Structure 1
Amino acid sequence: MKIVRVKILSAVLIISLFCAGSVFAADETYEKLKTMIDVMEIINVNYVSETKSADLAVGAIKGVVRTLDPFSQYMEEKAYKDMKNETEGNYSGVGLRIMEKNGFITVVSPIVGTPAFKAGVLPDDRIIKIDKKSAQGMSTNEAVDLMRGKAGKKVKVIIRRDNVVEDLVFDLVREKIKIETVRSTMLEENIAYIRLSEFNAQSAADVKKELSSLKKEGAQAVILDLRNNPGGLLDSAIDIISAFVKEKTLALTTRGRVEGSEKKYYTHGVAEFADIPFIILVNRGSASASEIVSGAFQDFKRALIIGQNTFGKGSVQTIFPLSDGTALRLTIAKYYLPSGRPINRSDDVNAKNGITPDIEIKVSIEDEIKLYTQADMVFAKDSEKKSDVKTDDKNKVEDEALKKAIEIIKAGNVAAEIEKSAKQNSKK
């Protein structure tokens, strides 16, 4: 009995390191830790099946972290390795960015071109089951682990969608996930179109390279499509802002609880594209770095934002590797745009957060799914306008956000629409 208690006490002392402030600063903390020890010992001795104190400790750690916010996570060794592999673009799966929200695994955004994207999984879809296992109360690590696997193997994902009566069943075939982050083409009237699907170390350089090339071909304006872009590297976002805004301009502030944690990010280098008319497309799958970029340009009155309200992920996470091969992903700060406004206006996961576009384009669920299936058609030549997903002409829909952007550029009204939106926002 004493040996078991010593093991449990050791585990709890480890857990206590995750608690805010000094563990021994208040009697209340002592009492809660004592209760935790008592509960774990009762389980260890009396539970119907044999338990391991180490497993109980891991469960307790996960419970501590889960009380914080949807983006903080305790990652066991395998999950941590998988996360690093994903960062390096070396994994097979279905291509979903997910988070925990109200007890459900919720889709932030499907990655463009992946099995989930092609099948029509949408932002805000709630995952109910993965194969035969209920996803309610499941951690994101567990969900990711279940959806990943050998390329070519199927996984059944059952989705619950707002305003849809019956749950949706998706039989997805895992693929090697290769993220082509930047694609571009020249649209009518010499309008450069660039789609950025994720912010990685090369994104800023690739965007500048593509736009420079299109300018040499005669591009007179640019549309940057950040729809379904879940974010990525903060430095990449600042680099992209720097390409369009003069140097030494405050682009972002991060602010945490720890004294002295405030950090300011400024634009740098030559703004190669400071004068080109500029429109950004966003939707509810645009998150994190996408919101930093679109929000900053909106504050600067440098770009017109068209589409849907963005996802609303305005917090900074950092990885703390731990001595046993596990790691803690912890929210340490929040983002504040140049005007001082936060991306997250509320910590309530149900609040309307994110960036509100200058021009809102409402898209029905049905049309959103169809737009997914024809997403790559914009890059095809006129004689090859087809998607990599089977569709027929009667199921094709107009991309209203892109259409509106083109209309405004052709009319020469980008600057006027930016000013109009800024005046309307100042009255709110």
Structure 2
Amino acid sequence: MKSLGVLALGMGIGAIAMAGVLTQAQGANNSNIYKQFDLFSDAYEKVRENYVRPVQDQELMSGAIAGMVSSLDPHSSYMDAKAFADMQIQTKGEFGGIGIEVTMEDGLIKVISPIDDTPAAKAGLKTGDYIASINGDSIQGLGLNDAIDKMRGPVGTKVTLTILRQGEKKPFDVQLARAVIHVDSVKWHREGDIGYIRISAFNEETSKGLEKAVRELKKQIGSGLKGYVVDLRNDPGGLLDQAVQVSDDFLQKGEIVSTRGRHPEDTQRYDAKAGDITEGKPIVVLVNAGTASASEIVAGALQDHKRATIVGMTSFGKGSVQTIIPLGDGGGALRLTTARYYTPSGRSIQAEGIVPNIAVAQGSEENAPKIERPSEADLPGHLVNEDAAKKKKQEQSIIRPPAGKKVEDFQLSYALDMLHGKTAMAQAKAPAPQAH
């Protein structure tokens, strides 16, 4: 896959530059490749000569690469040099913007998750919202990176988003002030004799933050500590190595996750090392439809090893791994889907999600049916999960707040009751292993 990115950049204005790479000995396949390059060259020149305004070669080539990569699946994309630099800043835990994780769907920007304590979260943006326009300009026809770039800007300046939301009859505007986004990906506090740990993203500081949280909670609560709630709701994921380290912090041994690419030799397995930082205390993990990617790796590993009870609603279902492949000469980078990941029991959660051990709704009985669960399976061009397609889906009974009773956070309340022994932890069962 990496060679494809290099190949695209090498085409220049036409196919001539590639001729030296291809030899006659490569036979009939090369003849077909030449034809495709000739087709591209012809289209390139037609656009260059006939488009209504002059266009730069760099603009055309960037668009060609972006179109090639984005047509593969919803998570593959091309980043120009500026977008690549922004991405590198973001993974270090600090970047500018409004604080949302987004994807492109049906020509609109779809919110996967707002990041805690950012302008987007404070303004009330929700998982599943669609952004139809930015500052009054429709995003129809814009690429994902272009739309993201429009939402970014100097700190303190304002941006207005037009939002389409399930259950709302009309679009509505939300104005946000741009800010430097400091992603403290781990926060914690005590809930009486229980440690509550919120992980909002997986950046370079996440595992260190988790380890600090556990140390501090042990000091605060002392020997009476009954267990931990690990809140992964609306966590859009992030770095694979951090998901592995966070899982390892809770496990004594065994596989955490495996990634499998196009070729058998691409398979990698990640195993836990001895040492559980919680010393075996009970754990309840909270998930919902905004729980995606790296956070699903953690939930899946702890579920399969029966190390934690998973509570909440089925997660997003992003079971693919993207590799950042830098391109030469300041050409930016490809964010390319290179593998699928599998939980320790051999499950692919792609377009399926982590199904909680105990399904617990956050809303009331009356409102819950009106909420559409956003999912990887809803994204056009998503990778198909062939294993899941063969299985018959089983309906889960969902626990909801008692009629007439308002609870600020029913899922958290339920998790705390479990750790206090008011609700049976024995309901937790890991899924049966599947063949690798």
Pairwise TM-score range, normalised by the shorter structure = 0.7 to 0.9
1:101 equivalent in structure 2: 105
Q: Which amino acid aligns with 2:211?
A: K
Native 8 Å contact 1:186 1:219 kept in 2: no
1:197 match: 200
What is the 5 A alignment of 1:276-291?
276-291=281-296
The residue that corresponds to 1:245 in the other structure is 251
Code of the aligned partner of 1:30: Y
What residue is the counterpart of 1:391 in the other structure? none
Looking at structure 1, the residues matched to 341 and 319 of structure 2 have their Cα atoms a distance apart, in angstroms, of 5
Counterpart residue number, 1:260: 265
Partners of 1:182 and 1:13 in 2: CA distance: 48
Structure 2 partner of 1:79: 83
Q: Which SS does the other structure have where 1:285 is aligned?
A: coil
Q: How far has the Cα of 1:413 moved from its partner?
A: 4.8
String of CA shifts for 1:116-174, please: whole Å, max 9, x gaps. Answer: 01111111211111112222342221122111111111101111122322112110111
Q: How does 1:151-230 map to 2 (within 5 A)?
A: 151-188=155-192, 190-216=193-219, 217=221, 218-230=224-236
Task: Tell me if 1:331 matches 2:337.
Answer: yes
- Per the alignment, residue 401 of structure 1 pairs with 411
Give the number of equivalent residue pairs. Answer: 378
In 2, the alpha carbon distance for the partners of 1:103 and 1:257 equals 29
Partner SS for 2:262:
coil
Equivalent position of 2:304 in the other structure: 299
Aligned AA for 2:149? D
Shift in CA distance, 409/89, structure 1 to aligned 2, threshold 3 Å: closer
* Separation (CA, whole Å) in 2 of partners of 1:23 and 1:149: 51
Bigger shift: residues 35-44 or 357-366: 357-366
Distance (Å, rounded) in 2 between the aligned partners of 1:37 and 1:361: 55
Could you tell me whether the CA contact under 8 Å between 1:92 and 1:177 is conserved in 2?
yes
Task: Give the structure 2 partner of residue 58 of structure 1.
Answer: 62
CA contact (8 A) 1:12 1:36 kept: no
Amino acid of the structure 2 residue aligned with 1:118: K
Q: Report SS of the residue matched to 1:243.
A: helix
The alpha-carbon deviation at position 28 of structure 1 amounts to 4.2
- Shift of the 202–96 alpha-carbon distance from structure 1 to 2, 3 Å rule, reads same
Q: Is the 8 A contact 2:325 2:335 kept in 1?
A: yes
Secondary structure of 1:109's aligned partner? strand
Q: CA deviation at 1:47?
A: 2.5
Answering whether residue 361 of structure 2 is matched by residue 358 of structure 1, we say no
1:193 Cα deviation (Å)?
0.7
* Partners of 2:250 and 2:277 within 8 A in 1: yes
Query: What are the equivalent positions in structure 2 for 1:18-33 lying under 5 Å apart?
Result: 25=29, 27-33=31-37
State the one-letter code of the partner of 1:362.
Answer: A
1:322 is matched with which residue? Answer: 327
Q: 2: CA distance between counterparts of 1:279 and 1:151?
A: 38
Q: CA deviation at 1:12?
A: 8.3
State the Cα deviation string for residues 329-365 of structure 1 (Å, max 9, x = none): 11110110001011204xxxxxxx2111122223449
Map 1:306-317 → 2, pairs under 5 A: 306-317=311-322
Which residue among 415, 425, 428 is the counterpart of 1:418? 428
Q: Do the aligned residues in 2 keep the contact of 1:123 with 1:285 (CA within 8 Å)?
A: yes
Q: Which amino acid in the other structure matches residue 264 of structure 1?
A: R
Name the residue aligned to 2:388. Answer: none
Q: CA RMSD in A?
A: 2.8
User: Are residues 176 and 25 of structure 1, via their aligned partners in 2, closer, same or farther at CA, if it must alter by over 3 Å?
Assistant: same
Residue among 107, 125, 136 paired with 2:140: 136
Question: 1:375: which partner in 2?
Answer: none
Provide Cα deviations, 1:161-192, integer angstroms capped at 9, x if missing partner.
Answer: 2232211211011111111221111113x111
What secondary structure is seen at the aligned counterpart in 1 of 2:163? strand
The offset of 1:11, in angstroms, is 9.0
Cα deviation digits, residues 49-93 of structure 1 (max 9, x gap): 223333222211111111111111111111111111222334321
Aligned to 1:9: 14
Q: Quick one: distance in 1 between partners of 2:56 and 2:139?
A: 24
Q: Deviations over 1:263-305 (max 9, x none)?
A: 0000013123252111001111111111000111111111111
Equivalent residue number for residue 118 of structure 1: 122
**Pair 1:54–1:237, CA change in 2 (3 A):** closer
> In 1, distance between residues paired with 2:274 and 2:162?
48
Please tell me the residue identity of whatever aligns with 2:207: A
Percent identity over paired residues: 39
AA of the residue aligned to 1:170:
V
State the AA in 2 paired with 1:224: V
> Does the CA-based 8 Å contact 2:93-2:203 persist in structure 1?
no
Contact 1:11 1:57 in 2 (8 A): no
- For the structure 1 residues 101 and 29, does the alpha-carbon distance in structure 2 shift closer, same or farther, using more than 3 Å as the test? farther
Query: Would you say the 8 A contact 1:157–1:170 is kept in 2?
Result: yes
Q: What TM-score do you get using the length of structure 1 for normalisation?
A: 0.81
Partner SS state of residue 9, structure 1: coil
Map 1:374-389; keep pairs closer than 5 Å: none
* Separation in 2, partners of 1:37, 1:114: 45
Q: Distance in 2 between matches of 1:12 and 1:254?
A: 35
Could you list the runs of 5+ residues in structure 2 that have no partner in the other structure?
Answer: 1-10, 369-405
Equivalents in 1 of 2:246, 2:58: separation in Å?
A: 45
Task: Please list every run of 5 or more consecutive structure 1 residues that lacks an aligned counterpart in the other structure.
Answer: 1-5, 346-352, 369-395
Q: Name the CA distance, whole Å, in 1 between partners of 2:31 and 2:420.
A: 68
Shift in alpha-carbon separation, 1:24–1:336, aligned structure 2, 3 A:
farther
Q: Could you tell me the TM-score, scaled by structure 2's length?
A: 0.80
SS for the counterpart of 1:30 is helix
Tell me: CA distance 1:409–1:397, structure 2 relative to 1, closer, same or farther (3 Å).
closer
